[in-house]
Amino acid sequence: MRKYMVIYRSVLLENLQYAANVAMGFLGYFVFIFIFVKLWGYMYRTPEELIAGYTKEQMIWYVMMTEMLFFGSNAASVAREVAGDIRGGNIAYLMNRPYHYTLYILAKYTGEWSVRLPMYVALAVVIGMVMVGPLPHFRLTAVWAMALCVILGLTINAVFKMCISLFSFWIEDATPFQWLYDKLILVVGILFPVEIFPQTLQPLLKLTPIYTVCYGPAKLIVDFSPEKCLEILVVQILYLMVGCEMMFLIYRKGVKKLYVNGG
Amino acid sequence: MLTAVKNQLRVCLLSLKYNIMREMVNKVTFLTNVCFMVLNNAALLVQWFILFRLREDVGGYTLREIMLLWGLTAASFGLSHILFARVFSLSELIIKGKLDAYLVQPKNVLVSVITSSTDISAIGDLLYGVALACACSPGIGGFFLFLLFTVTGTIVFTAFALLIGSLSFWFLRMDMLENQAVMGMISFATYPDGIFQGISRFLLYYIIPVGMAVWHPVHMINSFHAGTLFTVLGYALLLLTAAVCVFYRGLRKYSSGNLMTARM
């Protein structure tokens, strides 16, 4: 575990040097939030109206939180790095090092988002307060539980994205599968809370990674309840265990398929 | 003059042909990229089915108009990424001094640069856009208008990216801004203009030209207006001229890097 902490710390320090670069990405986040403020402003006919049990403020804050997780975590970098290592042959050097390749990538990724995410949290709070107003019924005392859910959610997402990228051992380019996974997360989890979908679909959606990756953490921030928190944490731990098992299995099978050309 | 234009056009088409042939070396990857891009775009329609369950219109648009909007955006974005993909990473070429290779070729520099790569997944965008337009059954006239506006949209997207990318001749870090500006424009283009009011609406029509690329065209496919057609054509031409001028003005300031690269 210590070696992964060292990797984490070195990536964290490296990323702190480039914090200004992260700030350049704020424009993309702002554009999304601006669009959704306008969209939900149009969809809610009256300020008191409830859609799927959410007030207008809650709905916009929900999208702001999920987009914050999306932009602040930049999980695409995990997918890019793993796919690049496999396609470029760099994996041949990395798999012989005294660490497990997948955990090395996870430690690096955690170091990256440890710098990005707090910056996006600050931005989201400022934009939210200016454009929407304070979040009703927000429980400051439960921030630690929300933070834990966010960390687990980001890790689960990275594990699943890595699983998809590891398919590059068999197919040359796994990017199209990443698009589909990202779209599933975007449409079903980021843009809308699960409650907005038809009743019959909701139990099914709760079985997908969406529930643990973005809906769960964002729901707790917008509308916290200890029972919901416990439920989400249990599901997240289960998902993380299954996801890691799957990741190790695909990696083990994949490295056996590895051909390295000299050059 | 006419021969020169003909030659440049021939070079463009040959460039496109070889870009696609290069990408088709691995047929499975090629087909997966195209097919999954169609699926990827189609997945976003779910968002609109959800929103139309809540209200009968979104920003004054019906589901058919939203599909036209998405079709036109996807087709314009797709065509610009098929023909001129390199324009979307122009900043990187300028910042890293990679323009040298194009400067020594006996071809028009700008045409040579922007046609030097093709984004294969964009074929999926174009197919999806055209399929969506057909699904909206706009009629023969409407379909021809759709094709015309796909071309004007392509010009607007390309010229906008060229304009922003060319600023890299003067300013640092424009590579990140170029990407954000273009993606921001695409994001706005996939939502109806009716949700934006006041100053933001003005900015989105004339400064970040989403209105000229897709909103005006969608309105015109539904209800044709000659004046608006000339506005869109004029704006596309003006933006293209401005972008080309800025590129060549900036090219005078270009200083080569000492990076040695091989172009395959």
- Write down the ipTM of this complex: 0.88
Query: CB distance B187–A31 less than 8 Å?
Result: yes
Cβ-contact B145, B217 below 8 angstroms: yes
Which chain B residues touch A183 with a CB distance below 8 Å? 40, 43-44
Cβ-contact A79, A164 below 8 angstroms: yes
Which chain A residues touch B26 with a CB distance below 8 Å? 172
Quick: pLDDT tens for A123-133.
Answer: 999 999 999 88
Cβ-contact B220, B145 below 8 angstroms: yes
Cβ-contact A108, A7 below 8 angstroms: yes
Quick: pLDDT tens for A173-203.
Answer: 788 889 888 888 888 888 889 899 988 888 8
User: Cα angle vertex A163, ends A16, B186, to 5°?
Assistant: 65
Cβ-contact A59, A218 below 8 angstroms: no
User: Cα angle vertex B23, ends B118, B74, to 5°?
Assistant: 45
What per-residue confidence (pLDDT) applies to B259?
A: 62
Q: How far off is chain A from B140, nearest CA to CA, in Å?
A: 33
Collect all residues from B whose CB is shorter than 8 A from any CB in A. Answer: 26, 28-29, 32-33, 35-37, 39-40, 43-44, 46-47, 50-51, 54-55, 58-59, 121, 173, 176-177, 180-181, 183-184, 187-188, 191, 194-196, 200
Which residues make Cβ contacts (< 8 Å) with residue B148, sequence separation at least 6? none
Look-up of token digits 């797709």:
B78
Cβ-contact B139, B64 below 8 angstroms: no
Q: What is the pTM of this model?
A: 0.87
Conformational region of residue B198, where left means phi above 0, alpha means psi within -120 to 50, and beta covers everything else: left
Angstrom distances, CA of residue B22 to CA of A29, A154, B26, B85, B127: 35, 37, 9, 15, 20
Q: Identify which of B32, B55, B195 has the shortest CB distance to residue A176.
A: B32
Which residues make Cβ contacts (< 8 Å) with residue B21, sequence separation at least 6? none
What per-residue confidence (pLDDT) applies to B165?
A: 93
Interface membership of A38 toward B (CB under 8 Å): yes
Q: Which residues pair with A54 in a beta bridge?
A: A51
| Cα end-to-end distance, chain B, whole Å | 31
Interface membership of A172 toward B (CB under 8 Å): yes
What per-residue confidence (pLDDT) applies to A9?
A: 87
Quick: pLDDT tens for B180-214.
Answer: 888 899 999 999 999 998 899 999 998 889 999 99
